[in-house]
Amino acid sequence: MSYRTYNPAVRIGNWQEDVCLEEEKLKDFLEKKERGELLTDRAYNLRHHILQKIDLSSPADDGYIHFGDIVCLYNVGTSSIASANMSDIQMHNAQQLEGPCPLTSSKNFEPCIRNAFQIVSADNVDRTGEILHFEQHFCLSTLSGIGGQLKLYSDRATFIKYAKYSRLQDATLSAESNYQCEWKLLVLEPKQRLIMEGMPVPIGQKLLINHCKSNQCLASLPEYTHRTSFGREFEVVAHTHYDPHKIARDINHWNFIYAGQSCN
């Protein structure tokens, strides 16, 4: 079997065609670079946009959480913020956040596109401005535009579908809008839940974010960290971790962060 042992600089055979081909490749590369169409440029541009600082909603005068509020989700156990985690491969071809997109929690506390979520209704009715109540179904959505309006999604773990590292029930961001995207807020103390059902949810209170279909609570796992395009981050799953007293551990505790509030 014959093969070429010379590079295009050696003028044998179809050397002219080889030289022209190399020149065309270089010309095409320079044109794409000038237009910002190289895969590395597109990934950098998207990463730059989703890390741009944004303004969260200001706390309402009544002190309660409302539909339409834009917040960050702070996990008490890992002291981190829930964030969208697009891979480099996804960012090469995307103009905005695209699903399915894993959810991680990051030590970057600066509000930006990848870690800001809007509280929206689960029944496709515009409830902007209405107070959110305990055990009322709602969805958490990324912002419009670059944010892609992806909803926090989860479903029961199976033999072929589970969280990548812990193999628990995964939590992702999806373009779907169905029952798997519905969540509700619970108080930490189980004995108080029946009393608090239907009551307004106050700002600044530690909460459980419970998945309506599976009855599992959102958690950030300190023992499962991995490298991402944005640094080392924690895996986020839908799984309730109990202490010996059957109380959800602090890795299931979340706080809705508003403008002007500290994550500490």
Q: What is the pLDDT along the chain (264 residues), one digit of tens a residue?
A: 555 566 656 666 666 777 777 777 777 767 666 665 555 555 556 677 888 899 999 999 999 999 999 999 999 999 999 999 987 777 767 778 888 899 999 999 999 999 999 999 999 899 999 999 999 999 999 999 888 999 999 999 999 999 999 999 999 999 999 999 999 999 999 999 999 999 999 999 999 999 999 999 999 999 999 998 888 999 999 999 999 989 999 999 999 999 988 876
Together in a domain, 90 and 218: yes
For residue 191, the tally of other CB atoms under 10 A from its CB is 7
Together in a domain, 128 and 43: no
Residue 68 lies in a domain: yes
With beta carbons less than 8 A apart as the criterion, state whether 175 and 98 touch.
Answer: yes
Residue 234 CB contacts under 8 Å (≥ 6 apart), including other chains: 75, 78, 80, 104, 105, 106, 220, 221, 222, 224, 225
Residue 218 lies in a domain: yes
Together in a domain, 141 and 24: no
Structural domain total, the chain: 2
DSSP, residue by residue, 52-106: SB-PPPPPPTT-B-BTT-EEEEEETTTTEEEEE---HHHHHH-SS--SSEEEEEE
Together in a domain, 75 and 189: yes
Residue 126 lies in a domain: yes
pLDDT of residue 89: 73
Together in a domain, 66 and 183: yes
Instruction: Give the pair of three-digit tokens for residue 178.
Output: 């169905």
Together in a domain, 122 and 188: yes
pLDDT of residue 9: 63
Question: What DSSP designation does 216 have?
Answer: P
Together in a domain, 138 and 242: yes
Residue 4 lies in a domain: no
Together in a domain, 111 and 209: yes
Together in a domain, 98 and 30: no
Residue 229 CA to residue 211 CA, distance in Å, equals 28
Together in a domain, 18 and 101: no
Structural domain for 33, as ranges: 13-50
pLDDT of residue 8: 56
pLDDT of residue 106: 95
Together in a domain, 164 and 41: no
Residue 155 CA to residue 165 CA, distance in Å, equals 16
CATH of the domain at 242: 2.80.10.50
pLDDT of residue 43: 54
Together in a domain, 220 and 94: yes
